[in-house]
Amino acid sequence: MVFRDMWQSAGKYQPRVDQLVKVAPAIIRMGCFDRVETNGGGFEQVNLLYGENPNVSVRQWTKPFHEVGIQTHMLDRALNGLRMSPCPKDVRKLFYKVKKAQGTDITRIFCGLNDTRNVIPSIQYAKEAGMIAQASLCITHSPIHTVEYYVDLAKTFIDAGADEICLKDMAGIGRPVSLGKIVEGIKAYKNDIVIQYHSHAGPGFCMASILEVAKAGCDYIDTAMSPLSWGTGHADIIAVQEMLKDAGFQVKEINMEAYMEARTMIQEMYDDFLGYYIPQLNHINNSLLVKPGLPGGMMGSLMTDLEDNLKSLNKWKVKNNQPELTTDQLLVKLFDEVAYVWPKVGYPCLVTPFSQYVKNLALMNVIQMEKGKERWSMIADNIWDMILGKSGQLAGPVAQELIDMAKEQGREFETNDPQSYYPDKLDEFRAEMKQNNWELGEDDEELFELAMHPEQYRAYKSGKAKADFEKDLAERKTKKNAPAASEMPKQIKVSVNGQTYEVNIAYGNDAPAATPASAAPVAAGEGSDLLAPLEGKFYLTKDNSETPKKVGDAVQEGDVLCYIEAMKTFNAIRADKAGIITAILANSGDSVEEDDPIMKLA
């Protein structure tokens, strides 16, 4: 059963640990699961954003399943570990030791580039730590990603020591017959290799795909349950069970009393607060998803993030006397641009982080072109890293226009082992913990958490993460319970000393944002404003390797001054001229809107 991914596919967040521990007994009593997906990927970052300790969450959440012999498994992004960006080697090795000690049995290792140089070390590290190493084939549909391509990839992973193979059909766009042929090819090579199939339901292929892979010899099928199955999530356990029984397979029965108990609790979690981050469109299956091939796990957060991007873009359009876009209009433009961009950047499989990179690049293109600017005018550094080969070998060639752009900007294409670009860092993080009097934690798990998620962990320790989340949730609850915008006056007339004035009124996110008490800006100096080119969170650095800019620093045109993190990507903000920084108008972690002044240069 997919539980962690079921929530991520629906919306932006996952349940708190108290909710997870409460639902575990009902999942166990359902009686039809040999495995439960408990953690991995974005799970621990969400804990940190809540102000929860993810290490406590993983230990408490996996414990009840272990006690009854149900295996727990997690998602693992190979070179990236649990995050969007590549990890140092020593952090990757510690990762598996910590997760095994916390109670995770199986690690599902995947690389969106299917680069064996990224996956094979993780297979070795996982096995050394005593975990079951499940190597994934990231499934997509392109002229390059053929049945033979995937069978050969599986053979390489098996020869490298993988205990199991997963067909990770993260967007649900794998074609059913081809998927069956892939399973047949793998079983022909090693008949006793365990194969697990993971598919999202959105595009509509998944039930046919499940039947085809089962007939070909697949051993485990990932499923979800109501009220979060289907849509951008996964096929429902009841439908899958009935289909497989009818096809002659022996499958476990479902304890429906326990099913209804678990279903009720999931709905309670939804009603409590998680539903505020789940757009209604994510409950709907949509064949439009076949064209862009975006994964269900990303569609959950995409629709939430799209609200902010659309709001920001429409503000610009109103200021420039242009008609506003609807969500559907922006979504269609985005899907079309993803389909255009994807071949240009070498057909990376659209799964974290590369799905976000391609989607972000496409969305930035759409926004810039809507404003009359050029396509490719804003490409984040980590997206360039993907294009240039620093994240691994792309499946296909990069478009000549991007090669020319890289050359103009002095960027070089890379062919070395991706790990070589990310040296060991644990000693630096140990020193930081010692300086702050932070405990390393049981099995060095707190050290691991800081090293894996530096910015989020620091925000968690300071209390800022929890405060920001609670503020955002309160605003969403207020907005939901407020009168509809159409019912609210947009303009009133007032009389002062016999003179009549028209007063415009703005509500909620349309009003000027107040500066948080904890984020008092530095006093403004002389010079011109550097404006935020997009909405997101302001940071002076993206990791420990950088020295933050400060007031008084001299900068040259093109120097990186700061970053705006949007949609899980750090976008470098560069100086548009040489000068001196006379003011920094936001603190790290502050939310900024497009066109907000963030620095002054003189």
Cβ neighbors of 261 (< 8 A, separation 6 or more) are 26, 29
For residue 588 the two structure tokens come to 């790290």
Question: What is the distance between the alpha carbons of residues 182 and 166, in angstroms, rounded to a whole number?
Answer: 11
Q: What percent of the chain has pLDDT over 70?
A: 91
The pLDDT value given to residue 279: 81
Q: What pLDDT, in 10s, does the model give residues 432-487?
A: 999 999 999 999 999 999 999 998 999 999 999 999 999 989 998 888 776 554 45
Return d(Cα 112, Cα 78) in angstroms, integer: 9
Q: What are phi and psi of 197, to 5 degrees?
A: -115, 130
The secondary structure element, H or E, covering residue 531 is strand 528-531
**Segments making up each domain of the chain, as ranges:** 520-601
DSSP classification of residue 436: T
Using the structure block, give the residue that is written with the tokens 């991706």: 418
H or E segment to which residue 599 belongs: strand 597-601
Mean pLDDT by 10 residues, the chain (602 residues): 88 91 97 94 88 94 96 95 92 97 97 96 98 97 96 98 97 96 98 97 95 98 94 94 97 96 95 88 78 68 72 87 90 89 93 87 91 90 92 94 94 94 95 96 96 93 92 86 55 53 49 39 68 87 83 90 83 89 89 88 89
CATH 2.40.50.100 fits 520-601, yes or no: yes
Cβ–Cβ < 8 Å for 279, 11: yes
Percent of the chain whose pLDDT exceeds 90 = 64
Give the pLDDT confidence score for residue 518 in this predicted structure. Answer: 39
Provide the angle, in degrees to the nearest 10, between the axes of the packed helices 206-216 and 176-189.
20
Specify whether the CB–CB gap between 185 and 174 falls below 8 A: no
| φ, ψ (nearest 5 deg) of residue 437 | 60, 40
The greatest distance separating any two alpha carbons of the chain, rounded to the nearest whole angstrom, comes to 90
